[in-house]
Amino acid sequence: YHGFTNNYGRNNDKFINGLLPPGFDQKSCLSRYQLNLIRKPSPHKPSFPLLSKLRRYEALHRRCGPNSPSFRQAIVRLTSPTNSTAPSDDCKYIVILTRDGLGNRILSILSAFFYALISNRVILINRGNTLEDLFCEPFLESSWLLPSDFPLRDKFGSFRQSFPESFGNILRNGMRKETIEDSPPPYLYLHLSHDAGDYDKLFYCDRQQNLLKKVPWLIMETNNYLVPAIFLVSSFRQELNELFPAKDTVFHHLGRYLFHPKNDVWGLILRSYKPYVARANEMVGIQIRIFGSESGSIQDQMKQILACTQKKKLLPETELSSAEKADSSTSQKVKVVLVTSLNSQYSETLKEMYWEHPTVDGEMVAVYQPSHEGVQSSDSRIHNRKALAEMYLLSLSDVLVTSDWSTFGYVAQGLAGVKPWMLYKAEDKVFWALQHWLKYKTSKEGGDDWPCRQAVSMEPCLQVPPVCDCDEMKRMDGGKVLPYVIHCEDASWGLKLG
Ligand code: GDP
């Protein structure tokens, strides 16, 4: 192979269809303008309104971001709102507090950015869990990191649902809407993590969004992908339709726009890509998440992976004998299987299988697993770098097999622009069997979506959707409001764009 050339051919569009602006220093963040060399060009084009919105956002971030005079003014208004003589300008902020694994944190940052775009706020990320070590700055001549001397930072640890400045708590306690309207507080906390309650989720309502417009600083905590529920806010809908005529491309475009692995991570990506992936005719990524006992035994998971990849014809079957057939040496096709998992056993079994036996179609299969970290250790730098590198390597796949419920897999599929084949979690087997029993009995095809099925879109799932309507707080099904906001394959009550 020669440098970056691969079987996809070179892709010279380093600005990825106009998503990325020119002008960044290339050396300090090589991946930004080089990922296109190893990734297939995306078949999904960002809309013109989205491109112009991003350019306007970048200008807003420059004007209001850290170190700008407007930012200093906004800090003064935050710390002494009553006696501040500083004239108010139109800079408003959304500070995102991330939590849990890297996949969760990427989803939450992207959600906050999506909200920043639609509500004309500036996104700032709270440092921590080595985030600042992983990603380059996405906005030219500014920073998206919350300055470490931000006045509320010491309080973040006490921000929770019951916190007095929590928006959901204020609504639950029946604070009159006029109170926020007449004297908006300098900041509010939005609790939108997995344990968010019905009042917290009033965030996804028009009336409450109207109130929030007046609050200059919003501090949001989430570990989820909020985008599908933000689509339910009717006052945002028209603009969102213009920005995203293809609804299932939100993560794909914004993920490729925002996240650029730093040079250390880029090194990990290249040192896997060049020797192990570059020569592949086709690459199949398999992401196996182990959620303790919920995932079942390794042997059962292995059976499930083999059943899925062979039934859906994602990987070739092997001959029973180990003897090479006379004509197979003429086959040039190499399929690379990139396995990511905390455990190395899955890839070892696959590797052995394809070494011990030829494939029935003569195709050569190379199996590669970059790391097997054993356990999640989300505050370790090198651990997180490896996790990010592996998400990016998976995102180069032509075909993806992922584990249900895993945000790690969601990120890979969204960046790749691929609808993954999703493996059921073992604990869902009983549920699945019950649900499908009738279908199975009455239709020959009934069993076809076991042990994996293809996702309807490449979008991540919001696993904790709003379940109450905005006016009377009665139960409602968010999956029945808009044709393109549907239920997820894995979290059946969750919502995704599709
Ligand atoms: P989720 O828990 O599956 O939704 O995904 P997260 O990314 O939020 O959290 C899982 C974390 O465990 C990752 O961020 C990694 O730290 C670690 N991890 C899980 N699976 C893998 C893997 O296949 N490769 C690597 N390098 N780390 C993994």
Is residue 125 pLDDT above 90, yes or no?
Answer: yes
Count of CA atoms in the C-beta half-sphere (13 A) of 93: 30
**Choice from 108, 376, 384, 407 to test ligand 1 binding pocket (greatest atom count within 8 A of CB):** 376
Is residue 472 pLDDT above 50, yes or no?
Answer: yes
pLDDT reported for residue 165: 87
What is the 103 CA–ligand 1 centroid distance (Å)? Answer: 7
Phi (first) and psi of residue 296, to 5 degrees: 85, 180
Confidence of residue 345 (pLDDT cuts 50, 70, 90): very high
What is the 387 CA–ligand 1 centroid distance (Å)? Answer: 6
Domain assignments of the chain as residue spans, ordered by start:
42-258, 279-446
What is the 293 CA–ligand 1 centroid distance (Å)? Answer: 16
**DSSP string for residues in 118-174:** HHT-EEEEPP-TTHHHHB---STTS--BPPTT-TTGGGGGG-STTSTTBHHHHHHTT
Query: CA–CA separation, 57 vs 254, rounded Å?
Result: 13
385 CB less than 6 Å from ligand 1?
no
341 CB less than 6 Å from ligand 1?
yes
> What ligand 1 atom has the least distance to the C-alpha of 340?
23
* Closest C-alpha residue for ligand 1 atom 8: 101
**If you average pLDDT over residues 413-427, what whole number do you get?**
92
Tell me the C-alpha to C-alpha distance, in Å, between residue 163 and each of 160, 166, 221, 473.
5, 5, 13, 22
What is the 100 CA–ligand 1 centroid distance (Å)? Answer: 10
pLDDT reported for residue 313: 96
What is the 102 CA–ligand 1 centroid distance (Å)? Answer: 7
411 CB less than 6 Å from ligand 1?
no
Which percentage of the chain shows pLDDT scores above 70? 90
The token pair that represents 227 in the structure block: 């985008």
Residues 6+ apart with CB under 8 A from 77: 84, 86, 88, 186, 216
pLDDT reported for residue 446: 44
387 CB less than 6 Å from ligand 1?
yes
Ranges 18-32, 231-245, 382-396, 431-445: which has the least confidence = 431-445
100 CB less than 6 Å from ligand 1?
yes
Confidence of residue 233 (pLDDT cuts 50, 70, 90): very high
The whole-chain average pLDDT of the chain stands at: 90
Nearest one of 373, 299, 358, 296 to 324, comparing CA atoms:
358
67: alpha, beta or left, given left = phi > 0 and alpha = psi -120 to 50?
left
**DSSP string for residues in 58-81:** HHHHHHHSTTSHHHHHHHHHHHST
**Choice from 194, 408, 462 to test ligand 1 binding pocket (greatest atom count within 8 A of CB):** 408
**If you average pLDDT over residues 380-404, what whole number do you get?**
97
408 CB less than 6 Å from ligand 1?
yes
Confidence of residue 84 (pLDDT cuts 50, 70, 90): low
pLDDT reported for residue 85: 53
pLDDT, tens digit, for every residue of 439-459?
444 444 445 677 899 999 999
What is the 289 CA–ligand 1 centroid distance (Å)? Answer: 7
pLDDT reported for residue 427: 66
* Closest C-alpha residue for ligand 1 atom 12: 376
Locus of tokens 């990191």: 145
pLDDT, tens digit, for every residue of 284-339?
999 999 887 777 788 889 999 999 999 999 999 999 988 877 665 666 789 999 99
CATH number of 279-446: 3.40.50
pLDDT reported for residue 217: 96
Which percentage of the chain shows pLDDT scores above 90? 76
Q: Classify residue 219 by burial, with Cβ atoms within 10 Å: 0-12, 13-18, 19+.
A: buried
pLDDT, tens digit, for every residue of 11-64?
678 999 999 999 999 999 999 999 999 998 999 999 999 999 999 999 999 999
pLDDT reported for residue 329: 61
Confidence of residue 220 (pLDDT cuts 50, 70, 90): very high
Distance of CA 476 to the CA centre of its chain: 26
